[in-house]
């Protein structure tokens, strides 16, 4: 019989996943409508890095598989604050939960969160084992994928164990909590205000800053893989992946900025600060923070001689012009906003898939 504490932790995780799914439902509908058959290609790509790593000699394959397994646990790190919210975590600290029970509960929640990844790996393995390309060694491919998944599950268990079982140092209250009684001085520079009102809340309030860093790194890595990857790698699928990540990076930064702006406008109503000018500068700083992704894409593409012809010039213009468009366009409605995001993904995917033709 399952312990009540384990049932509670699993129910808490299911509630968090359901909340996240409800939030992303409209986005998923539009993205699925736009991507269509390309989604099958993305599923087939799920286990490809682990299979390619397993095909290398053992001294190189093991580090690559370890890096892949650790990297795939990053989404669990980003979801940890939702799976074990702060107010629930503070209550759990006072419970007399034995370490063994805490470990079993964390392992059960990690199994729940990594189950979709296991299904994606299984589908990807089935597709590649059916096609049997020349570079594929079936025993090594299956073993490497299983090893990578087990490492991801272990890292997820450790992250959830740290999040639910070990008390953390109390953080200083966010600046906006005391905003009504301690308004900023009029001589404070805009850069200091931006740092306190926009940069720090990305890391103190939620995982928005971490999500944007992960998206930025993933976009740069996908762009490098697209331009310099092996010949066996399907370039059209990596082009779709790079395009989707590039748009999601701009969309995530825009959503975080608009949410923080809504809070700042209320709190700064009585401050001697030009909130409109501060908002424009915050948008400029957000755009500046996103430039490494298209810059890496431009650099590796130039080294691979990809930016020639109409498709190359158009994709490069879209890659640099799409973030300002998303950041400066009014939000309209939620579905209208997602339609604009889907349209940007469709344009980039259609152009990028023709780049190497």
Residue 83's pLDDT is 84
Cα dist from 160 to 20, 76, 171, 191, whole Å: 18, 8, 19, 36
pLDDT band at 36 (very low <50, low <70, confident <90, very high): low
85 vs 231: CA distance, rounded Å: 45
User: Rounded distance, CA 77 to CA 156, Å?
Assistant: 7
The conformation of residue 95, written as its DSSP 8-state character, comes to: S
More confident residue, 112 or 188: 112
311 pLDDT above the threshold of 60: yes
CB atoms within 10 A of CB 208: 19
| Cβ neighbours for 52, distance < 8 A, ≥ 6 positions apart | 135, 230, 232, 233
Q: Predicted confidence band at 29 (pLDDT cuts at 50, 70, 90)?
A: low
pLDDT for position 121: 92
Across 190-205, average pLDDT? 82
- Rounded CA-CA distance 47/321 in Å is 32
Assess contact for 51 and 128: CB atoms under 8 A.
Answer: yes
pLDDT, tens only, 234-290: 777 788 888 888 988 898 888 888 888 888 888 887 788 888 888 889 999 999 999
CA distances, 88 to each of 48, 127, 165, 168, 206 (Å): 38, 42, 12, 13, 15
Closest CA to 344 of 244, 256, 253: 244
Residue 146, pLDDT above cutoff 90:
yes
pLDDT band at 174 (very low <50, low <70, confident <90, very high): very low
Contact 112, 11 (CB under 8 A): no
The answer to whether residue 307 scores a pLDDT higher than 80 is yes
Note the pLDDT of residue 108.
93
Sign of CA dihedral 238, 292, 33, 29: positive
Does the pTM surpass 0.75? The reply is no
Q: What is the mean pLDDT of residues 177-191?
A: 51
Mean pLDDT across 139-144: 91
Ranges of H-type helices in the chain: 4-35, 38-44, 48-54, 58-71, 74-83, 86-93, 99-131, 138-165, 190-194, 200-204, 208-228, 235-267, 275-290, 292-303, 309-328, 334-353
Whole-number pLDDT of residue 248: 86
Confidence of residue 38 (pLDDT cuts 50, 70, 90): low
Tell whether the model's pLDDT for residue 7 goes beyond 50. yes
Residue-level pLDDT at 212: 86
pLDDT in tens, 56-84: 888 888 988 999 999 888 888 878 878 87
Residue of higher predicted confidence among 185 and 144? 144
**Cβ atoms of residues 242 and 226 within 8 Å:** yes
Lowest mean pLDDT, pick from 194-208, 210-224, 277-291, 306-320: 194-208
């Amino acid at each position: 019989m399952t312990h009540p504490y384990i049932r509670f932790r699993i129910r808490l995780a299911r509630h968090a996943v359901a909340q996240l799914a409800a939030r992303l439902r409209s986005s998923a509908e539009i993205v699925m409508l736009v991507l269509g058959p390309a989604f099958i290609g993305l599923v087939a790509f799920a286990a490809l890095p682990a299979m390619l790593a397993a095909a290398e000699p053992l001294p190189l394959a093991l580090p690559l598989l370890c890096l892949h397994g650790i990297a795939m646990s990053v989404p669990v790190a980003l979801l940890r604050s939702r799976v074990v919210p702060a107010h629930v975590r503070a209550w759990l600290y006072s419970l007399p939960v034995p370490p063994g029970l805490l470990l079993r509960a964390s392992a059960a929640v990690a199994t729940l969160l990594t189950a979709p990844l296991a299904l994606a790996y299984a589908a990807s393995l089935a597709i590649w084992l059916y096609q049997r390309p020349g570079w594929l060694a079936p025993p090594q491919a299956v073993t490497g994928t299983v090893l990578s998944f087990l490492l991801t599950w272990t890292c997820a268990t450790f992250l959830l164990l740290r999040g639910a079982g070990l008390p953390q140092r109390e953080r200083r209250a966010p600046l906006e909590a005391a905003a009504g009684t301690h308004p900023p001085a009029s001589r404070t520079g805009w850069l200091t205000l931006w740092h306190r009102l926009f940069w720090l809340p990305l890391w103190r309030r939620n995982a928005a800053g971490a999500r944007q860093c992960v998206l930025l790194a993933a976009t740069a890595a996908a762009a490098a893989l697209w331009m310099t990857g092996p010949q066996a790698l399907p370039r059209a699928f990596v082009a779709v992946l790079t395009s989707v990540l590039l748009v999601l990076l701009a969309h995530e930064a825009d959503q975080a900025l608009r949410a923080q702006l809504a809070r700042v406008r209320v709190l700064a109503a009585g401050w001697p600060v030009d909130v409109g000018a501060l908002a424009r500068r915050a948008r400029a700083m957000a755009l500046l923070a996103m430039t490494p992704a298209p810059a890496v894409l431009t650099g590796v593409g130039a080294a691979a001689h990809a930016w020639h012809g109409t498709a190359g010039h158009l994709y490069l213009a879209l890659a640099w012009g799409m973030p300002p468009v998303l950041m400066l366009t009014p939000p309209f409605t939620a579905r209208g906003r997602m339609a604009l995001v889907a349209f940007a993904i469709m344009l980039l995917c259609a152009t990028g898939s023709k780049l190497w033709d």
